[in-house]
Structure 1
Amino acid sequence: MKNIVKDYLPKAALILLIFSIICGLFYTLAITGIAQLLFPDKANGSIVEVNGKKYGCELLAQQFNDEKHMWGRIMNVDTETFTDKDGRPVMYASPSNLTPAGETKGKKTDEKRMKELVADRVAMIKKANPEQAGKKVPVDLVTCSGSGLDPGISVAAAKYQIPRLARTTGKSEKEIQKIVDKYTTHKFLGIFGEENVNVLKVNLALEGILKS
């Protein structure tokens, strides 16, 4: 037994050291270097930076709820849009046990609660966009994504807000449509996925920070 330990332990330790250096150091440096060379923006977090100032990550949503900006989907961290009857904030997009099938003791069913939340959101969207009276509110403006941090909305949801933005920003609908078109990601190969409008980039363009 002593001979086995004496013969193989140094070799095993040496192999461990070699592969630790190769996989833990050289491989990591190589992959990081290649990423920085070929995809510097993505490798550094897809940060939207203009003139040295960072405005956020284009892959993560930000909360916009004033009439001069385009609104995105409901966020996981939204605690201000809704409150319960006691005035306490409701984290509408956060993980919860609210399901159409569930029910809490002495309270409304989860299905009713969810319908109330969506109805409140629809009312808020319609109030902010009176130009679209009689038109259906795009579903992604009243629901959250799986992560609750989706940075984009559908083209229909973006177009729904164009008349309001024209009214509040002083830009023409044609100018705003141009901005929406510029920051729309189209289907991959024209087939896969859905068209998606990046809300943060549109709002930065509306402010004149990004090119329109």
Structure 2
Amino acid sequence: MERLPSWLRQHLAAVRAVAVLTVLLGLIYPLVTTGVAQALFSGNANGSIIEQDGKAVGSSLIGQSFTDADGKPVRKYFQSRPSAAGDGYDPTSTSASNLGPEDVIDTGDRQSLLTQVCARSKAIGELEGVSGARPYCTPGGVGAVLKVFPGKAVSVNQPCPAVPFIATYQGLKVECAQPGEDYAAGRTVPVRGDVTAVPVPADAVTAGGSGLDPHISVAYAELQAPRVAEERGLGQAEVRQLIRRHTTGRALGFMGEPAVNVLELNLALDRS
């Protein structure tokens, strides 16, 4: 029998390798891992679904918003961390905002990260009855940032006819920003202000890397406790006890910080 050419033998070997690997890695391996997951970790493998009265209400691994039809916080519920995933907590669009600490100047179609933080802090301060003031934020809830030129300074995140958050900077008069004006040539100067105490925690005003965070910090939960207790007619001690009950410790005992699962806490409040 005539021996096959070497190039044909190589191609046949490649086809056999593809077929074997397809069966092993595309069929057998997924079936085995799925079977093991279902046998040993069925709850986690199926999405860690939380049910109430026989109905799925969410997942312990994916956050959700507790707002009304207008997007306003429902006052009787603890509020989640902000989300940058789609319209909020969309598992199909999990992502961060990709904005960094140097993103401080608003543009015509987008708020800077600094202004987003300032606006969230102001809103949370009003909701919880505390000061929402933060360093580098104006009292109106935008980034306190100047563009400095020879002879003038412009509060670039305060379009006219807004009154600038400071009247002068190093002897220069501070002006409001004229819409459509290009201030890129100026020197960027964030102004810290004299804020010392910041009652609103960082996780309340910044979105997490996944945009799906189901937890908030203990500090943020404690900040919300008086409002929730008042809305529900409960004692603050009772609400804080529920917070402690739904607080998870550090991973492996030393990684990260304790955190509170918002959905589980709100469901426990509904049952109380």
TM-score range normalised by the length of the shorter chain: 0.7 to 0.9
1:66 Cα deviation from its structure 2 partner: 1.2
Matched, 1:58 2:57: no
Moved more, 95-104 or 179-188: 95-104
Aligned mates of 2:59, 2:268 — CA distance in 1: 15
Runs of 4+ aligned residues of structure 1 deviating over 4 Å after TM superposition are 5-12, 77-80, 96-99, 101-105, 132-135
- 1:87 maps to what in 2? none
RMSD: 3.3
Residue in structure 2 matched with residue 68 of structure 1 by the alignment: 76
Q: Deviations over 1:117-161 (max 9, x none)?
A: 33332222122222x568711121122212232211111111111
**CA displacement 1:26-82 (0-9 Å, x = unmatched):** 1111110000111111111122123431111222221121110001111215869xx
Matched, 1:181 2:236: no
2:96–2:210: 8 Å Cα contact kept in structure 1? no
The corresponding residue for 1:204 is: 267
Long gaps (5+) in structure 1: 81-92
Once the two structures are superposed, the pairs formed by residues 50-129 of structure 1 within 5 Å of their partners are: 50-64=52-66, 65-76=73-84, 95=97, 100=102, 113-129=112-128
Flag structure 2 segments of 5+ consecutive residues without an equivalent: 67-72, 89-94, 132-196
Q: 1:170 to 1:17 in 2, by over 3 A?
A: same
Q: Determine helix, strand or coil for the equivalent of 1:30.
A: helix
Partner of 2:255: 192
**Which amino acid in structure 2 is aligned with residue 66 of structure 1?**
V
1:49 aligned counterpart, secondary structure = strand
Which amino acid letter does the alignment assign opposite residue 231 of structure 2? T
Distance 2:85 2:103 in 1: 24
Are residues 1:165 and 2:228 paired? yes
Moved more, 165-174 or 134-143: 134-143
**What is the rounded CA distance, in whole Å, between the counterparts of 1:168 and 1:102 in structure 2?**
36
Q: Give the Cα–Cα distance (whole angstroms) in 2 for the partners of residues 96 and 190 of structure 1.
A: 30
Greater share of residues in helix:
1
What TM-score do the two structures reach when normalised by structure 1? 0.75
Equivalent AA in structure 1 for residue 35 of structure 2: G
TM-score by length of 2: 0.60
Q: Write the distance in 1 (CA, Å) between the matches of 2:125 and 2:220.
A: 12
Give the Cα–Cα distance (whole angstroms) in 2 for the partners of residues 22 and 79 of structure 1.
39
Paired with 1:186 and 1:135, the residues of 2 have a C-alpha distance of 24
Match of 1:84 in 2: none
Identity of aligned residues (%): 34
**After superposition, what is the alpha-carbon deviation per residue over 1:93-112, rounded to whole angstroms, capped at 9, x for unaligned?**
9736686356577x6x97xx
Distance 1:20 1:94 in 2: 34
Q: Does 1:144 align with 2:207?
A: yes
